[in-house]
Amino acid sequence: MNRLILTLMLLPTTFLVYSQDLSIQKVEPPNWWTGMKHDSIQLMFYGKNLGNVSISTPDAKFKVLEVHKTENSNYLFVDVKIAKDATPGNYKIILNKGGEKIKWEYPILKREDNSNSFKGFGPDDVVYLITPDRFANGDLTNDNSPELFDKLARGDDYGRHGGDIQGIVDHLDYIKELGVTSIWINPLLENNTKVSYHGYACTDLYKIDPRFGTNELYKTLVGKAHNTGLKVIIDHVNNHIGINHNWVNNPPMHNWFNGEAYNHFLTTHHKKSMTDIHSSELILRENTDGWFVDEMPDLNQRNNYVAKYLIQNTIWWIEFSGIDGIREDTYPYSDQKFLSEWVSEIFSVYPDFNIVGEIWIEEAAYLAPYQKGNLYKRDFDTNLPSMTDFCLSNAIREMIIDKVGISSLYDVLSKDHLYTNPNYLLTFTDNHDMERLVYILQGDVAHFKMILTFLLTTRGIPQIYYGTEIGLTGGQGHGALREDFPGGFPGDTLSAFTRKGRTAKQNELFDFSKSLLEMRKKYQALSLGKLIHYPPKDEVYFYFRIYNNQKILVILNNGETKQKIGLPQEEFLKNVKSLINLLTNKKIDSREIEIDSLGSSVYLVQE
């Protein structure tokens, strides 16, 4: 649909409609579409004196099914049904209170061409994680907003630095050149709170934060990314909102939240209780009903109105923007039966979609039951296809920090039988909540290359944190590790977005990362192949990825010295003619291979 027409159709909802005693401030969702599977929706009216009103719609193709009044007359919930043959347009809703009438026009839009949208993501993808405030400032005019608390403060690790959606749009070519296939962006919705740069304390669930851009600009980003061949994953939060959301001091219902601003408890973080067959209901509730922090009020998803609001809100953003997937924040802290329904409803509309739940659990026995179809679930199926693999991430970090050895990787992967589908775990070395890989490696380039080789050749959906590909170091603490990307901000003397602007070391790491990503894309065995691995010996770990007639051998040496290893001839190398090193393009005929300390090799097996 023409963007001007869309703007005009949405225009009526941006004004306050009122009479002397009765008023409507806004309605959510702000619009819906024709031809949707969900053709019956629940509208939330915000206003004044909305109690004891009758509602009617003059058009039979937009019909009121039921009106739900609450104890707070500032809100009204109205169930409406959109006829299958309804045409796009503004449909009148008439509110009548004692003869006093006001009208609201509700936009029903035509669904846009979605042939390039809702694609999902899987093992043949590589995800690039961006903290938008720290990536690039593409629009200096939106660095501050008069109605929002936080102002630009680039010198403060926990302040806003000015990165925005336009900055990401401006550098899609860089992301594409690197070779990743998907972009996951930390939350972009309005956060009118202090320390708001991270985006996880939303104060308007239908509005992009003006300091990042607009709803339309986000939609443009998704479209441009798709045209570039990149998928987009939204960072979504069902569990909580920000303390300055209008609901907090004026909730629609007394049980809209779990607790109140001045009467609540913090979560106990008993994330393992969901899978514990001996766990009591009290322990479960202490985990899901506690607030994550005092500044993030916990939504009560057992309230049917809250649940429906969140489901519709998610579907609205998917349909509006055309995104391909969701990363769901703080997954174990929401009501799990609600999340099961939420996932199911999304896939009923977008069957090719994907959702990864952030589940910070580092033991496979407790993590695995969160995945759909798992035999160790409680009394319901989660329906969740993907999860963050903190088990493997923790093993990588233990190998580096605690010097436990490369067996830590083998040990984690040997527990993959616990998962329904380990190939759909999101794997990573670092993210926006963890010290960066180069920081914990203390700048060791050889070790960096070995670990990145492992990440991009083992099973799962790899995720790379922005700047890892050029060796951004960051520091301790969230503000420091979410470092500004060089060249993304006014005053930066060099731009790492260009080869000329990168240092020699940054180009070395970028080139190595790019070559691995090209290799992964070219050889499907590295993304879709079966993993066959062998117990490490003397800090050398090797494994095969096998897909159809394609066979790849990966060797990692986590030791302090160069090693010469013999390969198993009787199994996967029985008919080998030669091995081609895909990182150097050198061919070898020997079945004895030398590998440098902290080195890695990836071979194509030719038979």
Tokens describing residue 454: 């492992």
Closest of 305, 307, 264 to residue 285, by C-alpha: 264
Q: Is 329 a catalytic residue?
A: yes
Q: Which of 289, 335, 358, 416 is catalytic?
A: 358
DSSP 485: P
Residue ranges and CATH numbers for the domains of the chain are 3-109 (2.60.40.10), 127-257+298-526 (3.20.20.80), 530-606 (2.60.40.1180)
Burial (CB < 10 A; 0-12, 13-18, 19+), residue 112, is middle
**What's the rounded Cα separation, in Å, for the pair 238 and 200?**
10
Burial (CB < 10 A; 0-12, 13-18, 19+), residue 576, is middle
E strand or H helix that includes residue 106:
strand 100-109
CA distances from 513 to 75, 180, 326, 399, 603 (A): 52, 10, 25, 21, 17
Strands 40-48, 23-28: pairing is: antiparallel
DSSP states of 340-373: HHHHHHHHHH-TT-EEEE------HHHHGGGSTT
List of the chain residues with pLDDT < 70: 1-20, 377, 569
Write the pLDDT tens digit of every residue in 205-249: 999 999 999 999 999 999 999 999 999 999 999 999 999 999 999
pTM of the model: 0.96
Tokens describing residue 46: 């915000």
Q: What is the pLDDT of residue 20?
A: 58
Q: Which of 133, 329, 335, 435 is catalytic?
A: 329
Q: Is 85 a catalytic residue?
A: no
Residues 150-156: contacts with CB within 8 Å, 24+ apart? 150/193, 150/194, 150/195, 150/196, 150/197, 150/211, 154/484, 154/489, 156/479
Determine contact, residues 236/331, Cβ cutoff 8 Å.
no
Determine contact, residues 362/335, Cβ cutoff 8 Å.
no
Tokens describing residue 311: 């489901």
